[in-house]
Structure 1
Amino acid sequence: MIKLHNGGAYLLNGMEIVDDSPEAAQAIAAKTGCSVTKEEAAQQTMAYGILKDHNTSSDMKKLKIRFDKLTSHDITYVGIIQTARASGLEKFPMPYVLTNCHNSLCAVGGTINEDDHMFGLTCAKKYGGVFVPPHQAVIHQFAREMLAGGGKMILGSDSHTRYGALGTMAIGEGGPELVKQLLNKTYDINMPGVVGVYMTGKPIPGVGPQDVALAIIGEVFANGYVNNKVMEFVGPGVENLSVDFRIGVDVMTTETTCLSSIWKTDDAVKEFYEIHYRPEDYKELNPGNVAYYDGMIEIDLSTIRPMIAMPFHPSNTYTIEELNANLMDILDDCEKKALVSLDGAVDFTLKDKVHNGKLYVEQGIIAGCAGGGFENICDAADILKGSSIGPDEFTLSVYPASTPIYMELVKNGAVATLMECGAIVKTAFCGPCFGAGDTPANNGLSIRHSTRNFPNREGSKLQSGQIASVALMDARSIAATAANKGYLTAATDFDVNYTKPKYFFDKRIYDNRVFDSKGVADPSVEIKFGPNIKDWPAMEALTDNLVLKVVSEIHDPVTTTDELIPSGETSSYRSNPLGLAEFALSRKDPAYVGRAKAVQKAEKARVEGKAPEEGFEEIAPVLAAIRAAYPEVSNENTGIGSTIFAVKPGDGSAREQAASCQKVLGGWANIANEYATKRYRSNLINWGMLPFLIDTGDLPFKNGDYLFIPAIRQAILDKASQVKAYVVGENGLSEFTLRLGDLTDDEREIILKGCLINYYRD
């Protein structure tokens, strides 16, 4: 049972919920003997206390956060460090961990990936960081084992930066936000709302953390209940969960679109830190006696059943029992949703997976920051003990999240059990989560205990007629399906003796391989640059006026960052801004790059002092029509670029390249009804792009139209909330309105300068 409260709620002594109402204050006073205001009670959440400790401003409504530690992986750290170097970086001012868990397949793209790793190692030496070699650990498992601390805050350049179960508020953001921290600047946000997640009961055997997580996501994603808020896990049910179980739920909070998460801590968390030789990093966390939450989610853990998120989103959830009972109806619904997600680019069906009334899948994956935990894999091994996955299409791959976990699974026999049944056990690698490993066959269906199942994320190329599908499940039900040779099966259908072996952390594994500068920089170290590592191209400051061509129009309900810049094989080009930009929107709108580059020629000509039409003849009548109404428009004061429209862009990854690729192709703005996540909107701003909003309804423009936005620079300077814009047509200019949303003073200055690099350089 999951219940969402309408409006806010108070939590008394961590155990009793009182809904916000005119009578609430009186009821609370009667129960507790004290009187508190809503504002005072809101300051009693764990989240408020941690944010207050890290806020450098005097205003708790306008936060300026300095984090304790930073972490990145090898898809993001090259761009971050290159940006910081261009902005004056001399030393990492705080612990910064560079992990290598995404571009680990070093044969892909020639020497490119290993060149990036050498760049990272030499930067860790030069600037005083930590370098975790490939296959040692996925980014978030290393952070749990070696970085997290009670009451601390960590910023990571990966969307699943979540360590709330260990008492650490962690946030996943685009690379430019880490650059700000490296340059001793702050993370500026309005005080977020805090939503309580009140847990009671205890999960039944066979139910795992992914089941609980998917149940929550299914309830809160579409309605935006926790969007850009902090989820705070409380209630008596928390202590009925192991720390591994809590971690498995916590990492998936990213898929709710919340900002961050925090959990109350107890002796189990204290033991986690002791096991990892860091007892000093434990801190007991609890909300105050009377804490106010902006919303409340109640979960009776005993009612959760094995879940599955069908393609193509983690919120497309059903219980496995419900799916099996209504199989053809649900598959029919998936096909209807696919028509929207895939734009009819390929013929899609899962009905051919139904064999004798049962759903057959070709692949199972247990991996990464969500699935690769010790307890998940031990439970999966217990289910599979003595069975066989069979010699047919179905395959099973297991990726422990770190080498210390792998070592302990070897010692306790779990690896032997898995390999004996036919599974393949691999090293720590995030590839299955973003389409760089274990890609299914065309028309294949994979069940995965990983984080996402967006279209294209598992390696499909719609433009080549390729499509594969991912459904998210818990490791236990994946193991049960494997034991049933690929026929979808809930773990609760098996009577299993879960052995629950104790975990022993072998610290020597990291001591022997991880480079740790201990915060000491060595300026004499020469950074190693591979031939694919390129500097960012020059970017112009915002001009007085803008002419924008709409070069893509997307009407999907949500557009993911993977659709804006595909993951998978493109990751080898993440250190080459122009090379990577060639892939922008390639799986969603293959014509986008050509259209953007064509109009960019006009801007390049303008910057060189030529007439824009010398670069792009098509622009000539557009400029003539604009100058007829605005004669003051000139080549010197009016920039020319491109924009895209999407209903709700930015769900998913924190990768800044979703925005930077548009920028290096001449993008000046996005236009949206709303932005799916704060991190994508921040990425746009940090790359000097205007995050325009437009009211829902019929658009005043269409793909291919030119838009004129006069006096945009002055509007930013004046802190205007909306601006006048025009569609440039054959009959002149047709007016409409764009909104800018809230912008901080620093964000306005970044946009005016043209990007974060220019802002710091100036």
Structure 2
Amino acid sequence: MITLKNGPIWLQNNQEIIETVENISVEQGKKNTIAYSILESHNSSDVEGTLKLTFDSLTSHDLTYVGVIQTAKASGLKEFPVPYVLTNCHNSLCAVGGTINDDDHLFGLTAAKKYGGIYVPPHQAVIHQYMREVMAGCGKMILGTDSHTRYGALGTMGIGEGGGEVVKQLLKNTYDISTPKVIAVYLEGTPKKGIGPQDVALAMIGKVFKNGFVKNTILEFVGPGIENLSIDFRNGIDIMTTETTCLSSIWATDEKVREYFKIHGREEVYAKLTPGELACYDGLVHIDLNKVESMIALPFHPSNVYTIKELNENPQKILAAVEEEIRKQMDNPEITINLQDKIVDGKIKVDQAEIAGCAGGTYENMFDVAEILKGCSLTDDYFTLNVYPASMPIYSQMMDDGSAKSLLQAGAVIKTAFCGPCFGAGDVPANQSFSIRHTTRNFPNREGSKPNEGQIAYVALMDARSIAATALNGGFLTPATDLLEEIESDVEYKFDASPYTRVYNGFEKANEDEIVKLGPNIADWPEMIELQEDILLKVASVIADSVTTTDELIPSGDAASLRSNPKKMSDYTLSRRDPAYVPVAKEIQKLEEERQAIVKGNQVELSEELNALIDKVLENVDSTKENFIKNTEFGSVIYAVKPGDGSAREQAASCQKVLGGLANISVEYATKRYKSNLINWGMIPFTASPEIINELDRNDYIYIEGIRKKLEENATTINALLIKENTVKTIELKVEDVSKEDKEIILNGSLINFYASQNK
């Protein structure tokens, strides 16, 4: 089904993989990729191997745009220099927090009017469907503050990052990265009946995630199999490439892409994109579409992949193994894990189904599900099926073609464009329930359950067609390939743009007299000081999991309702993974606040706690108490083996900073975007050897003398003093792959401080 191969890989005429070539170098061949041409057209760097990129447009949703604009405003923002789309699809149905959701929406609209933005009201479209329909174009680049910013199937290179990177673009700076590797995803064949885009995507994720084969690369989809896929099918695969941990994606384009843009009234943005006659790639993911089966990603990761057939043939064995992994991952004896209870008469019965968001809510998914369920009735048991069309134009077409009526008559519930089921802000299942979803992720507790309150739910990812087949079968897990009749989805799609008359398009119409409306929950960022000469870090959390997701670092769901209030939201940091973290972080933060008061002359006497800590450290450090207080910044540090998989939301890092976090230590960072978030919030992204986990315990201290000077001198190896209760030893930390500008941000204490220093 899928094979991997390291490069160099040669592709001839976008059709054939060949072993050797003559009269062309690898370097020349790499310049014949689609990715190279797009990157170069947006690059202003003249340094080989380094890119400084400027994007054609930007986008954020209501979980992130308040923080972005508040940060940009504090950094000198006057007007949005490129189209910046503010959508409202993440916190539009959450009945929590009183007025705070619509307060943020009002902030977004008034900010769009003041700075010249584009505002998409709640329920109109999920972020990525709107960008597909209205903003994507062949050869363009789009940067978004959502990790699933992917429009490669439409010839648009999308990158999802934390808010700090969008702030840089708003302030007319560049997105700086080393030139990424480009991996060819070679498609051949035609999917069999019942196979949908999620099946192909999950098969690929299962093959490449754990081995890191495509990490931080650009995936370039090529080969003869592309023409056998509809645009919705391609978009459905493309949006899920985020879960492979690649940086971005791009596809060869054809007449189907032209037709897509024509249907949406934008045929002029089409261009044929294809690799050169001989293109060279750094690796190959070879997918035979003929052999893809109906897939399922079991809890708790999109890479935990099986065929549905395999699972149905071995339910007890597979679910027992999954349960064991869950116990290790949750590390909470108070929670009962009983996924095997879902086996009824030898078959797996699920409790809930969701088809939603940028991955699930496409028109063809909606139509195919309606066709499968037409004339049938869902079970009257606990099982429910909720569907969310990804935009109001899609919903309009569903009303015209009768698919909406078919779904309603079958017993499905149709809701408006909303991302909530994907991240725990809507349709949270009951405790111990098993939910199957055509959404993007199934991380631990991402669906909204609270383990610290004894709750757990199990989410598996599946394609919409197999979800419909399961619904048709009374909630018993069923692959769509078992359906006897062909699923047809060739109805003519007509784009109804009329719902978008409510979209406010203020680009190039900034009104400096407009007053941005701030609800009572919208707060400015707390003051952050520049990095001091030395640092003392208190180990506030040690996480031994092989991967730590951003959902574990800062949970979504109800916690996200406080997104616009940094201090309030920070109290949720690691709350579902390590509830002891916040109290420990606050302990050292309180001592740092006292240290700063002494330095400023606002406090004379040392508290008993601060005095005891300084005495403890000075037993091992050659300094006077006065100099130590003056030169040493106190803060917390998190250790995790591989943190940052998943969401781009910056709160995973900013909440640590608000609590006084100064660094992370890891073996490696799961994604570039999480590492960027740490840097933009003035936190040092240390790495260390895997063995360091055997050295660290909560409440240990790490003292680093001369850290500021070491960063200024571009040192990559940092010797630090690990101070435990009864022992002291030297450990080695690394600061690698951090650019000169990134170090300047860290030295200034945050991106906000960095820009403030430039504007002095």
Is TM more than 0.5 here? yes
**1:487-502 alignment runs, 5 A limit:** 487-500=476-489, 501-502=491-492
Would the alpha carbon gap of residues 548 and 381 (structure 1) be closer, same or farther in structure 2, given more than 3 Å must change? same
Aligned to 1:134: 122
Aligned to 2:269: 281
Post-superposition shift, 1:145?
A: 0.3
Would the alpha carbon gap of residues 76 and 392 (structure 1) be closer, same or farther in structure 2, given more than 3 Å must change? same
- 1:399 corresponds to which of 377, 388, 406: 388
Aligned to 1:622: 616
Per-residue CA deviation, residues 656-696 of structure 1 (Å, 9 max, x unaligned), is 00000000100000000110000000000000000000101
**1:433-512 alignment runs, 5 A limit:** 433-500=422-489, 501-510=491-500, 512=501
Unaligned runs of 5+ in 2: none
Tell me if 1:123 matches 2:123: no
Tell me if 1:578 matches 2:578: no
Per-residue CA deviation, residues 604-646 of structure 1 (Å, 9 max, x unaligned), is 0111124665564552333332444788952111100110100
The DSSP-based 3-state class of the residue aligned with 1:8 is strand
Post-superposition shift, 1:155?
A: 0.1
Tell me if 1:645 matches 2:639: yes
The DSSP-based 3-state class of the residue aligned with 2:630 is coil
- Paired with 1:504 and 1:705, the residues of 2 have a C-alpha distance of 62
The DSSP-based 3-state class of the residue aligned with 2:542 is strand
Matched residue type, 2:527: A
Tell me if 1:14 matches 2:14: yes
- Paired with 1:190 and 1:622, the residues of 2 have a C-alpha distance of 43
The DSSP-based 3-state class of the residue aligned with 2:628 is coil
Contact 1:602 1:612 in 2 (8 A): no
Q: CA RMSD in A?
A: 1.3
Aligned to 2:709: 714
- Paired with 1:316 and 1:195, the residues of 2 have a C-alpha distance of 22
Post-superposition shift, 1:704?
A: 1.2
- Paired with 1:614 and 1:74, the residues of 2 have a C-alpha distance of 44
- 1:228 corresponds to which of 213, 216, 241: 216
Per-residue CA deviation, residues 212-246 of structure 1 (Å, 9 max, x unaligned), is 00000000000000000000000000010000000
Matched residue type, 1:726: L
Would the alpha carbon gap of residues 311 and 732 (structure 1) be closer, same or farther in structure 2, given more than 3 Å must change? closer
- Paired with 1:737 and 1:681, the residues of 2 have a C-alpha distance of 19
- 2:323 corresponds to which of 332, 335, 338: 335
- 2:139 corresponds to which of 144, 147, 151: 151
**1:734-745 alignment runs, 5 A limit:** 734-745=729-740
Tell me if 1:359 matches 2:348: yes
Matched residue type, 1:275: I
- 1:671 corresponds to which of 661, 665, 671: 665
Matched residue type, 1:220: V
**1:497-536 alignment runs, 5 A limit:** 497-500=486-489, 501-510=491-500, 512-536=501-525
**1:63-462 alignment runs, 5 A limit:** 63-105=51-93, 107-345=95-333, 346-462=335-451
Per-residue CA deviation, residues 122-165 of structure 1 (Å, 9 max, x unaligned), is 00000000000000000000000001010000000000000000
- Paired with 2:10 and 2:627, the residues of 1 have a C-alpha distance of 57
Unaligned runs of 5+ in 1: 30-34
- Paired with 1:211 and 1:710, the residues of 2 have a C-alpha distance of 52
- Paired with 1:384 and 1:374, the residues of 2 have a C-alpha distance of 16
Contact 1:309 1:315 in 2 (8 A): yes
Matched residue type, 1:241: L
Per-residue CA deviation, residues 538-595 of structure 1 (Å, 9 max, x unaligned), is 0011011100000100000000000000000011100000000000000001011111
Post-superposition shift, 1:734?
A: 1.1
Contact 1:453 1:471 in 2 (8 A): yes
Contact 1:602 1:614 in 2 (8 A): no
- Paired with 2:85 and 2:109, the residues of 1 have a C-alpha distance of 10
Matched residue type, 2:635: G
- Paired with 2:321 and 2:726, the residues of 1 have a C-alpha distance of 44
- Paired with 1:4 and 1:516, the residues of 2 have a C-alpha distance of 45
Would the alpha carbon gap of residues 435 and 402 (structure 1) be closer, same or farther in structure 2, given more than 3 Å must change? same
Would the alpha carbon gap of residues 365 and 618 (structure 1) be closer, same or farther in structure 2, given more than 3 Å must change? farther
Aligned to 2:537: 548
Post-superposition shift, 1:255?
A: 0.2
- Paired with 1:129 and 1:496, the residues of 2 have a C-alpha distance of 48
- Paired with 2:5 and 2:410, the residues of 1 have a C-alpha distance of 46
Post-superposition shift, 1:499?
A: 3.5
- Paired with 1:391 and 1:93, the residues of 2 have a C-alpha distance of 54
Post-superposition shift, 1:60?
A: 4.2
Tell me if 1:758 matches 2:758: no
- 2:597 corresponds to which of 592, 603, 608: 608
The DSSP-based 3-state class of the residue aligned with 2:629 is coil
The DSSP-based 3-state class of the residue aligned with 2:312 is helix
Contact 2:614 2:625 in 1 (8 A): no
How many percent of aligned residue pairs carry the same amino acid? 57
Contact 2:75 2:756 in 1 (8 A): yes
Would the alpha carbon gap of residues 653 and 260 (structure 1) be closer, same or farther in structure 2, given more than 3 Å must change? same
Aligned length: 749
- Paired with 2:418 and 2:562, the residues of 1 have a C-alpha distance of 18
Aligned to 1:32: none
TM-score by length of 2: 0.97
Contact 1:194 1:231 in 2 (8 A): yes
Would the alpha carbon gap of residues 523 and 343 (structure 1) be closer, same or farther in structure 2, given more than 3 Å must change? same
- Paired with 1:237 and 1:88, the residues of 2 have a C-alpha distance of 48
Per-residue CA deviation, residues 426-461 of structure 1 (Å, 9 max, x unaligned), is 000000000011111000000000000000100111
- Paired with 2:264 and 2:137, the residues of 1 have a C-alpha distance of 12
Would the alpha carbon gap of residues 631 and 525 (structure 1) be closer, same or farther in structure 2, given more than 3 Å must change? closer
Contact 2:680 2:751 in 1 (8 A): yes
Post-superposition shift, 1:508?
A: 1.7
Contact 1:273 1:279 in 2 (8 A): yes
- Paired with 1:6 and 1:264, the residues of 2 have a C-alpha distance of 21
Aligned to 1:696: 690
Per-residue CA deviation, residues 240-268 of structure 1 (Å, 9 max, x unaligned), is 00000000000000000000000000000
Per-residue CA deviation, residues 172-216 of structure 1 (Å, 9 max, x unaligned), is 000000000000000000000000000000001100000000000
TM-score by length of 1: 0.97
The DSSP-based 3-state class of the residue aligned with 1:603 is helix
Contact 2:144 2:159 in 1 (8 A): yes
Contact 2:61 2:87 in 1 (8 A): yes
The DSSP-based 3-state class of the residue aligned with 2:58 is strand
Would the alpha carbon gap of residues 726 and 211 (structure 1) be closer, same or farther in structure 2, given more than 3 Å must change? same
Would the alpha carbon gap of residues 707 and 698 (structure 1) be closer, same or farther in structure 2, given more than 3 Å must change? closer
- 1:592 corresponds to which of 551, 562, 581: 581
Post-superposition shift, 1:13?
A: 1.4
The DSSP-based 3-state class of the residue aligned with 1:708 is strand
Matched residue type, 1:121: L
The DSSP-based 3-state class of the residue aligned with 2:275 is coil
Per-residue CA deviation, residues 9-29 of structure 1 (Å, 9 max, x unaligned), is 11111122134xxxx3xxx22
Matched residue type, 1:709: I
Matched residue type, 1:727: L
Matched residue type, 2:324: K
